[in-house]
Chain A
Amino acid sequence: MRLLRLFGATFSISLRRQLAFRADLAFQALTTVIGVASGLAALGIVYTQTRSLGGWGLGEAVVLLGTYQIVSGVLATFIEPNVVWFAGQVTSGKLDDVLLKPVPSIFLASLGSCAPLGLTQVAMGLAVVGAGLREMDAIPRAYNLFGWLVMLSAGIAITWASRVLLASLAFWAPAMELDVVYGAVWQFGRYPVSVYPQPVRFALTWVLPVAFVSTLPAQALVRGVGPALLLLGTAIGAASLLVVQLVWSAGLRRYTSATS
């Protein structure tokens, strides 16, 4: 409850901060629009040549792309601004300030500020999902919608956990900055995992769980989801939250604040 209030406050602070930079604002919004549009166009070209991509029809693939954009928007709005170049933050002493506050440090370090404009991407993602459903000419059943929401939440939890996990690496290997690689692997979420050949597909499901971000939620929406998968998604989401807490506190024990 208290964390929610805090979250609201940081959001409004960040919003005010972002509004101060008008030109940034316009360009960022434009870039988001172009990014979403180009993703759609790329998909569109594929479907002029084929009717099915890894077993997914056009409308289904659009729903998936929209779901991917939603999670990407959440990542860009709430998570990325905090943990980007985390190793640098650790050495600059920013983490010292976080540690002094009477709030769970992992919360403040990974969600303490945000880039509200990223929400345009979430909104556009929602619109794309809607467009995909229209293309399929389907009104999702309530259960499918529910499954989508559950899997989407699990996907967001996994996203947060994996991104923070990557940042926590800085406690052990500060020279290793894998931010760019994370962004690169993230791109695999644009398409259903079934397009990738086998060892890659397995890796994208269980090692770098990109499948949980877009494929599985979209699948739940357009085809429904069995209770087993639903439970599994929830369990993995919850487990990832737990693991990241443990790793974070282990990392803090190693932290040697290098400020004078």
Chain B
Amino acid sequence: MSAISVRDLSMTYRAPVREGGLRAAVASLVRRRYREIRAVREISFEVGPGEVVGFIGPNGAGKTTTLKMLSGILHPTDGEARVLGFVPWRREREYLRRIAMIRGSQPIGGPPELTVMDSLRFQQLIYEVQDEEFKRNLSELDEMLDLGSLLERQIRALSLGERMRSGLALALVYRPRVLFLDEPTIGLDVSAVQMIRSFVATYSRETEATVLLTSHYMADVETLCRRIVLIDHGCIAYDGDLMGLSATLSPYKLVRVAVSDGACGDWSRYGEVVESEPGRVSLRVGRQDVPAVTARVLAELSVVDLAVEEPPLESVMDRVYREGVA
């Protein structure tokens, strides 16, 4: 049985259109005009238990909307979804106890005057976590997130990174089975990002929790997710493993060559030159031509080093976002 199963899920926002000016304001009292925004259009996908799936797409694609529907914040306009067998937007207590939604833009809710520990205790109460379990979970979280000095501090005085760490602790202290992470690394520095990444990896491995993660940093997705679901303009454009994505999306590979004599006039007979400096070059070569081209390079030149690489995901995604999936 899959942990998350989504069928034909759609969300259409109705936003009132307001023009400027007094006359338009008066007119809008009488007859409102609405603009329909089809944020999510009949998407379907399944996620197995324990899977970590990257949910990616350009700005405004409908990622946050989907996560909100799956965590029960929004009622969809159409379609079905089951998470752990529950219909999310019924918001049953047993369901809410098993999930967590963490938003990078606002990792902690609740009164900012409270200390992190106060908030943790409150979570314990709300989620009915037994004392012993609470202590055990907390000490594990403490180890992974280095909470120690944060616990006694007031939330309002925390930096963004500290907020994110505390937010994770607050959300995970009750051991949710499904995690929705919406851009968890947004605005964080390099080492905080590393920490969050390895934390999510460890958490999902040790608790076998299912994770659905959105991010605009491809490195997050590359390190954490074997599978990605790509959404664009509210529709699913790709669903499969990460390697496959670059294979289908980008029909090229990068061939990096370093030569000893430095005297090589015309690289372009091997492939399209992406960058070059004396003695060194990167070539873009069609996938099916790679064996032939490398053989020719090795035969004709005195090669010091040669590597065949997938193109960087960022640039692949950039093309997808701009041009769509071919």
In the complex, A30 has a CB within 8 A of chain B:
no
Number of interface residues of A (CB under 8 A): 28
Q: Give the contacting residue for A100; candidates B96, B105, B114, B122; CB below 8 A.
A: B96
Question: What is the distance, in angstroms, from A159's C-beta to the closest C-beta of chain B?
Answer: 24
In the complex, B110 has a CB within 8 A of chain A:
yes
Complex: A105 Cα to B91 Cα, angstroms: 9
**CB atoms of A100 and B74 under 8 A apart:** no
Question: Could you say which residues of chain A place their CB within 8 Å of the CB of B73?
Answer: 96, 99-100, 255, 257
Question: Could you say which residues of chain B place their CB within 8 Å of the CB of A97?
Answer: 109-110
Question: What is the distance, in angstroms, from A117's C-beta to the closest C-beta of chain B?
Answer: 15
Q: Give the contacting residue for B113; candidates A20, A98, A99, A260; CB below 8 A.
A: A20
Q: Give the contacting residue for A9; candidates B68, B74, B75, B122; CB below 8 A.
A: B122
In the complex, B118 has a CB within 8 A of chain A:
yes
Number of interface residues of B (CB under 8 A): 32
**CB atoms of A113 and B111 under 8 A apart:** yes
**CB atoms of A99 and B97 under 8 A apart:** no
**CB atoms of A260 and B97 under 8 A apart:** no
Question: Could you say which residues of chain A place their CB within 8 Å of the CB of B114?
Answer: 13, 17
**CB atoms of A257 and B68 under 8 A apart:** yes
Complex: A11 Cα to B149 Cα, angstroms: 26
In the complex, A103 has a CB within 8 A of chain B:
yes
Question: What is the distance, in angstroms, from B119's C-beta to the closest C-beta of chain A?
Answer: 9
Complex: A83 Cα to B80 Cα, angstroms: 32
In the complex, B103 has a CB within 8 A of chain A:
yes
In the complex, A22 has a CB within 8 A of chain B:
no
Question: Could you say which residues of chain A place their CB within 8 Å of the CB of B127?
Answer: 102
* Contact (A9, B96) CB under 8 Å given A100-B71, A257-B73: no
Within 8 A of B (CB), among A78-132: 93-94, 96-103, 105, 113
**CB atoms of A100 and B72 under 8 A apart:** yes
**CB atoms of B103 and A256 under 8 A apart:** no
In the complex, B13 has a CB within 8 A of chain A:
yes
**Binary contact readout A234-260 vs B (1 if CB under 8 angstroms, 0 otherwise):** 000000000000000000110111011
Within 8 A of B (CB), among A201-260: 252-253, 255-257, 259-260
Question: Could you say which residues of chain A place their CB within 8 Å of the CB of B307?
Answer: none
In the complex, A36 has a CB within 8 A of chain B:
no
* Contact (A99, B105) CB under 8 Å given A9-B122, A256-B13, A257-B68: no
Question: What is the distance, in angstroms, from B19's C-beta to the closest C-beta of chain A?
Answer: 15
Question: Could you say which residues of chain A place their CB within 8 Å of the CB of B99?
Answer: 100
In the complex, B24 has a CB within 8 A of chain A:
no
In the complex, A6 has a CB within 8 A of chain B:
yes
Question: Could you say which residues of chain B place their CB within 8 Å of the CB of A13?
Answer: 111, 114, 118, 122
**CB atoms of A102 and B126 under 8 A apart:** yes
Complex: A253 Cα to B127 Cα, angstroms: 24
**CB atoms of A103 and B68 under 8 A apart:** no
In the complex, B93 has a CB within 8 A of chain A:
yes
Q: Give the contacting residue for B111; candidates A17, A99, A256, A257; CB below 8 A.
A: A17
**CB atoms of B126 and A6 under 8 A apart:** yes
Complex: A96 Cα to B67 Cα, angstroms: 12
**CB atoms of B75 and A253 under 8 A apart:** yes
In the complex, B264 has a CB within 8 A of chain A:
no
**CB atoms of A93 and B96 under 8 A apart:** no
* Contact (A103, B126) CB under 8 Å given A93-B106, A256-B74: yes
Question: Could you say which residues of chain A place their CB within 8 Å of the CB of B97?
Answer: 102
Question: Could you say which residues of chain A place their CB within 8 Å of the CB of B109?
Answer: 93-94, 96-98
Within 8 A of B (CB), among A17-57: 17, 20
Complex: A5 Cα to B114 Cα, angstroms: 19
* Contact (A100, B126) CB under 8 Å given A94-B109, A260-B64: no
Question: What is the distance, in angstroms, from A97's C-beta to the closest C-beta of chain B?
Answer: 3
Question: Could you say which residues of chain B place their CB within 8 Å of the CB of A113?
Answer: 111
Question: Could you say which residues of chain A place their CB within 8 Å of the CB of B121?
Answer: 9
A99-B91, A102-B127 given; name 16 further pairs at CB < 8 Å: A5-B125, A6-B126, A17-B114, A93-B106, A96-B109, A97-B110, A98-B109, A99-B73, A100-B72, A100-B101, A101-B126, A103-B126, A252-B75, A255-B74, A257-B73, A259-B105
Where the two chains meet, the residues of A that have a C-beta atom closer than 8 Å to any C-beta of B are 2, 5-6, 9-10, 13, 16-17, 20, 93-94, 96-103, 105, 113, 252-253, 255-257, 259-260
A–B pairs, 20, beta carbons within 8 Å: A5-B125, A6-B125, A9-B125, A13-B122, A16-B118, A93-B106, A93-B109, A96-B101, A96-B103, A96-B106, A99-B73, A99-B91, A100-B96, A100-B100, A102-B93, A102-B94, A102-B126, A255-B73, A255-B74, A257-B73
Q: Which 4 A-B pairs have the closest CB atoms?
A: A97-B109, A102-B96, A102-B93, A102-B97
